[in-house]
Amino acid sequence: MNQTAVGEVEKLVDPMLPQLMSIRKTVWETDDTFTIQLEKADHYDAEFTFLPGQFNMLYVFGMGESALSISSDPLKPGTLAHTIHRVGTVTTALSQMKRGDVIGVRGPYGTNWPIEKANGLDVCIVAGGIGLAPLRPALYSLFRRRRDYGRILLLYGARSPLDLLYRVELEQWSKLYDVEVLVTVDRSDSTWKGYIGVVPSLFMYIKLDARATIAMVCGPEVMMQYTIAEILRRGIPPEQIYLSMERNMNCAVGFCGHCQYGPKFICKDGPVFGYPHISHLFEKKEI
């Protein structure tokens, strides 16, 4: 560091200082999962930009922050949105916010899905539960240049039919963008005509051109373990598999140490990783 006299440090940018955004709209996707659309509420002119797969830290006055992945279209300015599972105090508070209420937003943070690398390849997207949220910006990005990619497959699993996110969109995607959508649920009553079973079992019903396919996976860790085992069994090379990891993200800037996963900080080295970078730890317990 520079040796300067006392008191000569310039005013610093505080990475922990959020910008202000207000709630534009809240849409309930399921009983316990909602999407909030945000708009800027401060004087900064800069547009909020992000890459698919990145996340923000959302701050609710007096309650704290929560790390939440961005679920909106990165190429549509001014439409920032998060799809949030209501599970803790901060997410519950977010779910109760009304139009115009202001929250703090820090971000975007983390690595992104390899949209560029998918050029010319088939793309197999595998999502479990809320894991579809951080993959939606990836799907939007693929649709934007649909002809640059081969097949797009979306394998998506949820707990029950009522827990499925983006139900209307799922149908539109298959119609408008030629996405092969396979949806499965863990349990159901007799009104559901779709697949019932775990996500990895869907691979039974598809054929993949292993060498020309890139896979992007996001869901609960155990679901990703079984999914990746299945993907590898299909012959897709490890370096064509990407996944998004979850840990306790507290500061999002590599200071607090909570999100460590072996040598990686999920917040800044992830959350999206190429599988070879973490495969040695992936099946170890309590890393």
Partner 1 sequence: MFIIQRRDFDILISALKQRGYTVVGPAVRDNAIVYDEVNSASDFPVGWTDEQEKATYRLKRRADEALFGYSVGPQSWKRFLFPSHVKLLSVVKKGKTMEIQSDASNEKPPQYAFIGVRSCELNAIVIQDKVFMNEQFSDPTYVLRRHNAFIVAVNCTQSGGTCFCVSMNTGPRVKGKFDLALTEVVGNGVHHFVAEVGSDKGAEVMKEVPHKNADASGAGVAEKLVDATAQHMGRTMNTDGIKELLFNNIDSAHWDDVARRCLMCANCTMVCPTCFCSTVEDATDLSGDYAERWRRWDSCFTMDFGKVTGGNFRPSSKARYRQWMTHKLASWINQFGASGCVGCGRCITWCPVGIDITAEAEALRKNSVRIEAEHSTGV
Partner 2 sequence: MQKEDLTDVLRKHPFVGDLEKQYLQLLVGCAKNVHFQEGEYLCHEGEAADSFFLIRTGRVAVEIHAGHKGKRRIQTVGPGEVLGWSWLISPYRWHFDGCAVAEVRALTLDGKCLRTKCDKDHDFGYEMLKRLSHVFQSRMEATRLQLLDVYGTR
* Window 95 to 124, contacts with partner 1 (CB under 8 A): 100-102, 104
Selected range binding partner 2 among 18-26, 42-50, 127-135, 273-281, rule: CB under 8 A: 127-135
Selected range binding partner 2 among 94-102, 137-145, 154-162, 247-255, rule: CB under 8 A: 154-162
Give the pairing of strands 64-69 and 55-60: antiparallel
* Residue 139 parent element (H or E): helix 132-144
Residue 30: contacted member of partner 1, partner 2, none (CB under 5 to 8 Å, by partner type): none
Rg of the chain taking only CA atoms, in angstroms: 20
Give the largest Cα separation in the chain, rounded: 75
Alpha carbons 227 and 219: distance in angstroms, whole number: 10
Alpha carbons 259 and 278: distance in angstroms, whole number: 14
Does residue 246 contact residue 224 with C-beta atoms inside 8 Å?
Answer: no
Residue 250: contacted member of partner 2, partner 1, none (CB under 5 to 8 Å, by partner type): partner 1
Residue owning tokens 């897709």: 236
Alpha carbons 42 and 177: distance in angstroms, whole number: 36
* 232 makes contact with partner 2 (CB under 8 A): no
Q: Which of 26, 91, 111, 244 binds partner 1 (CB under 8 A)?
A: 91
Q: What count of Cα atoms within 13 Å lies in the side-chain half-sphere of residue 179?
A: 25
Alpha carbons 186 and 282: distance in angstroms, whole number: 24
Q: Which of 64, 237, 238, 274 binds partner 1 (CB under 8 A)?
A: 64
Contact letters for partner 2, residues 180-209 (x by CB under 8 A): ----x-xxxxx-xxxxxxx-xx--xx----
Contact letters for partner 1, residues 212-251 (x by CB under 8 A): ----------------------------------xxx-xx
Does residue 141 contact residue 118 with C-beta atoms inside 8 Å?
Answer: no
The nearest distance, CB 66 to partner 1, in angstroms, is 8
Residue 167: contacted member of partner 2, partner 1, none (CB under 5 to 8 Å, by partner type): none
| Contact footprint for partner 1 (CB under 8 A) | 1-9, 11-18, 20, 22, 41, 59, 61-65, 87-88, 91, 100-102, 104, 246-248, 250-251, 253-258, 260, 262-263, 265, 268, 280-281, 284-287
